[in-house]
Structure 1
Amino acid sequence: MARAGVGVDILEISRMERAATRHPSFLSRVFTEEERAYCESCARPLEHYAARFAAREAVLKALGTGFSEGIGIKDVSVGKDQRGRPVAILAGRAAEVASERGIQEVALSLSRTHEVAVANAVAMTPDVRPRRDEGNDAQREMQASFREARSVIDELERLQDGIMDTLDGEGDAEEPETGELPLAESMGE
């Protein structure tokens, strides 16, 4: 069955700063050694930590699970491919769920400002994944597939812009109730 799941998450950098300050073991409990090494090598590590936390949430939304079905906090992490682009790394129960659902790849995009980090994830089965085939027909199909993927990314960017516009316009307004726990509480703190 063809399936593509989409997940988006946004996280305020200040929430990551508060969690890291209040709970000294937070970063080592939540992030892999590779993620910590990468983030700590950056000029503003907490922005990168926040992007990676948002990526976890976005990937799990794309898988359709959230942190349920036995998925642990380190079952999703962010690595880099040979070109330096972020990639979702699934381990443990997250990898099992992806396999059970026929998900072959999770495409990942991360963005951040000094205030927020945003992650977009698209989980794809082989039927919806862009293919490389031989011949002109295959080339046209691939181009069409990439156009479709680009339209998904464009829509995610439009949603992200709307979220950013909403956040910019809120100022000190109260946050809407979403049913989500504050970061530290969602981590079992």
Structure 2
Amino acid sequence: MIIGVGVDIIEIKRIKRAIERNKRFLLKIYSEKELEELKKKNIESYAGYFSAKEAVSKALGTGILNFKWTDIEIVKENSAPKVVLNNNAKKIAEQKGIKRIHISISHSREYATAFAVAEG
């Protein structure tokens, strides 16, 4: 059963500017595991992960509220993105009966987008 859906789109240059202006931005948004993966990638991937976190927060029905950005983790499993929830984001999902969140991430030259489906 679908419990929630979320979609997000972000201008890649906004993420690039945020990273260039404030190095703490990376630590606020991305987990250590994500940063390990992303340092092998380009700026589009950073934007894609950001967009994925926004889409997941919308699928949870909360937005980024009562948990940290790093409580939503995007990891690669067989080259496909997978959502791992931690701490308060995990608790919210459990309270809502969410068992799994499916995620799709894409980008063009200018935009990154993500679509999430929360399943229970």
Q: Which has the higher strand share?
A: 2
What is the aligned partner in structure 2 of residue 52 from structure 1? 49
Which residue identity lines up with residue 108 of structure 2 in the other structure?
T
Answer 1 or 2: which has greater helix percent: 1
CA distance in 1, matches of 2:61, 2:104: 18
Give distance in 2, aligned partners of 1:39 and 1:10.
Answer: 19
Matched to 1:109, the amino acid is: S
Are 2:112 and 1:113 equivalent residues in the alignment? no
Higher RCO (CA-CA < 8 Å; seq separation 6+): 2
The number of equivalent residue pairs is 120
Unaligned runs of 5+ in 1: 126-189
In 1: Cα distance, 2:105 partner to 2:2 partner? 22
- Amino acid in structure 2 at the alignment position of 1:24: K
User: 1:14: how far off?
Assistant: 0.3
Output the amino acid matched with 2:17.
R
Q: Retained in 1: the 8 A contact 2:2–2:117?
A: no
Residue 114 (structure 1) shift: 1.9
TM-score by length of 1: 0.61
Q: Greater CA radius of gyration, 1 or 2? A: 1
2:19 corresponds in structure 1 to 20
Q: Residues 163-188 of structure 1: CA distance to partner in whole angstroms, max 9, x if unpaired?
A: xxxxxxxxxxxxxxxxxxxxxxxxxx
Name the % identity. Answer: 38
Give the drift of 1:33. 1.2
Which of 81, 86, 90 is 2:81 aligned to?
Answer: 86
- What's the C-alpha RMSD, in Å, of the aligned pairs? 1.1
Residue matched to 1:66: 63
Task: Identify unmatched segments of 5+ residues in structure 2.
Answer: none
Which residue of structure 2 lines up, in the alignment, with residue 76 of structure 1?
72
Aligned residue among 85, 89, 97 for 1:102: 97
Q: CA deviation at 1:77?
A: 1.4
- 1:24 and 1:91 mapped to 2: Cα distance? 23
Q: Which amino acid aligns with 1:53?
A: F
Instruction: Provide the rounded CA distance (Å) in 2 between the counterparts of 1:25 and 1:64.
Output: 27
For residues 40-71 of structure 1, the C-alpha deviation after alignment (integer angstroms, 9 at most, x for no partner) is 112x2x21111011011100101100012x11
TM-score by length of 2: 0.95
